[in-house]
Structure 1
Amino acid sequence: MDRSQTGSGTEWDTTTYDEEHSFVFEHGENVVDLLEPTAGERILDLGCGTGHLTNQIAGAGADVVGLDASAEMIAEARTTYPDYEFIHEDARDVSFSEPFDAVFSNAALHWIPDQDAALESVADALRPNGRFVAELGGTGNVAAIVEAVQATAADRGYTVTNPWYFPSVGEYATKLEAHGFEVRYVTLFDRPTELDGGEEGLSSWLELFGDSLLSAVPTEEQQAIIAAVEDALRDEWFKNGTWTADYRRLRVVARCGADTTSS
């Protein structure tokens, strides 16, 4: 997951993100295929992170703008890909003078509880009949991890709530339609994801992505919680020296203000 759109001001270790959690943008390459960018299109990469998928989209000849709420991510993207425009901004409160042919988003939208504000920004950014192509966590995403954290934290007197937005197919399609989109394609699928780092894979994942999940636990007790979570999940989710996270993803293609007679 990518917490780039929370606007929370959380500082990112971009080196750890790129080197130890590269699966985020590597799996996103298939979402770029779903986008089918073409030369001359103007495309917004919403929640661009360190810019690797922005670069892939630009490789098709599109004019791409990357946007992310993380200052660290944007700084790294600008350094790595200086030829592209990257904007440090919150997805819920952004406007552009020139519309986009498409808005693309990978592993960012589930960090935004106020999904209505985010989708309103997407709709405002698109030209009529512009397309929205996104992947985010779907219902049940990382449920085993979340439930293990909640149970171990409860044993120590802390109440942990799931901070992420993981919608069902029906829920998200309905929300898109409420914002003027016509849903052309939507699917929910299991994607068990191997974590880098061997024995440290799950703890590294929780340390990078789980700060909001663990926010109710005092910092000095978080390592004990993480160790207990590892113990609880080890038999099922740690095999042959590798941790696997129980990812479930929701993919969607929608048109904004679509003319149903168009292709």
Structure 2
Amino acid sequence: MCSEPFTNEWNSGTYDDKLNLVAELGGGALFLLQPRPGERILDVGCGSGDLTAKIAAAGAIPTGLDLSEEMVKRARQKYPFLNVQVEDACHYRTDTPFDAVYSHAVLHWIKDADAVVRSIWLALREGGRFVAEFAGNGNVAVLTTAMEQTLEAHGYAWAGRNPWYFPTIGEYASLLEQAGFRVTLAQHFDRPTPLRTDTGVRGWLDKFADYFFLDVTPADKVSIYRAIEAKVKPSIDQGGQWMADTSRLRIVAIKEHT
């Protein structure tokens, strides 16, 4: 079963209040999408609908998908004019193909990449375009390495904790080509992301605690957080501003002849 843990588990209010940076950073991929009036565009992992609304503002006709009922509810409250649906991206099917498929900051949450790429290919008309941005190989490597080392030092196995799919540019481009896409743009770039100054690394760890620390005792968690913070400080503390070592893939691909 395909799942999107990020959109499925996180509270929509938290997404809007604390992760609005996700929507703010979506402009690069949205520029590459170049939505045009009258185009039918599928937004995979629409979250609370901010970027879907920008697609609609360009005159296109978007359909937003998200696995989280809470997120879809929030999107409908914010943008009642939008068509947003609760759907699993790995199994989504449509009888009427789209001119384009767009996805921002979601695909690294879906480990069954083959299934979601197949859904996207099937959703597009011949010659339709797929534009996406998501986390790539090496994303938050400093942080995850510190978590792995510290958890195992405290007797907690690392296996099965990491919920993410971070492909290399070659891996993902090959996956698209095998599915029948022609990749016209593939970029892998670093984009360090500032963490909140009041909570820093500990706040970032709390956001993902349900994945990495669910079975950790409260006493161990305090010790583990402290140790992780000490490990990563030389690399990501820039004069009092913590910067997560994030990296991204940006992709544009065209559906070839069926």
C-alpha contact (below 8 Å) 1:5/1:108 kept by paired residues: no
TM-score by length of 2: 0.91
Quickly say closer, same or farther: Cα 1:99–1:210, change in 2 above 3 A: farther
Q: CA deviation at 1:228?
A: 2.4
| Worse-superposed segment, 94-103 or 250-259 | 250-259
Q: How does 1:33-72 map to 2 (within 5 A)?
A: 33-72=31-70
Q: CA deviation at 1:194?
A: 0.8
- Partner in structure 1 of residue 238 of structure 2: 239
What's the secondary structure of 2:88's corresponding residue?
Answer: coil
Q: Over aligned residue pairs, what C-alpha RMSD do you find?
A: 2.1
Question: What's the % identity of the aligned pairs?
Answer: 44
Amino acid in structure 2 at the alignment position of 1:127: R
C-alpha contact (below 8 Å) 2:135/2:249 kept by paired residues: yes
The gaps in structure 2 that reach 5 residues or longer are none
- Whole-angstrom distance in 2 between the partners of 1:10 and 1:57: 23
- Partner in structure 1 of residue 172 of structure 2: 172
Q: CA deviation at 1:136?
A: 1.1
Q: How does 1:1-263 map to 2 (within 5 A)?
A: 6=4, 10-161=8-159, 162-195=162-195, 197-215=196-214, 217-218=215-216, 220=218, 221-257=220-256
Deviation per CA, 1:79-102: give whole Å up to 9, x if none.
111100111111111111211100
- Whole-angstrom distance in 1 between the partners of 2:187 and 2:7: 32
- Whole-angstrom distance in 2 between the partners of 1:54 and 1:29: 12
C-alpha contact (below 8 Å) 2:6/2:109 kept by paired residues: no
How many residues matched? Answer: 254
Quickly say closer, same or farther: Cα 1:219–1:70, change in 2 above 3 A: farther
C-alpha contact (below 8 Å) 2:5/2:109 kept by paired residues: no
Q: CA deviation at 1:127?
A: 0.6
Q: CA deviation at 1:231?
A: 2.2
| Worse-superposed segment, 228-237 or 143-152 | 228-237
Q: CA deviation at 1:132?
A: 0.3
Deviation per CA, 1:60-91: give whole Å up to 9, x if none.
00001111111221111111111001111111
- Whole-angstrom distance in 2 between the partners of 1:5 and 1:205: 22
- Whole-angstrom distance in 1 between the partners of 2:116 and 2:170: 18
- Whole-angstrom distance in 1 between the partners of 2:20 and 2:174: 32
Q: CA deviation at 1:25?
A: 1.4
Q: CA deviation at 1:15?
A: 2.0
- Whole-angstrom distance in 2 between the partners of 1:209 and 1:87: 25
- Whole-angstrom distance in 2 between the partners of 1:136 and 1:60: 22
C-alpha contact (below 8 Å) 2:185/2:251 kept by paired residues: yes
Quickly say closer, same or farther: Cα 1:177–1:9, change in 2 above 3 A: closer
C-alpha contact (below 8 Å) 1:5/1:109 kept by paired residues: no
The gaps in structure 1 that reach 5 residues or longer are none
TM-score by length of 1: 0.90
Quickly say closer, same or farther: Cα 1:183–1:212, change in 2 above 3 A: same
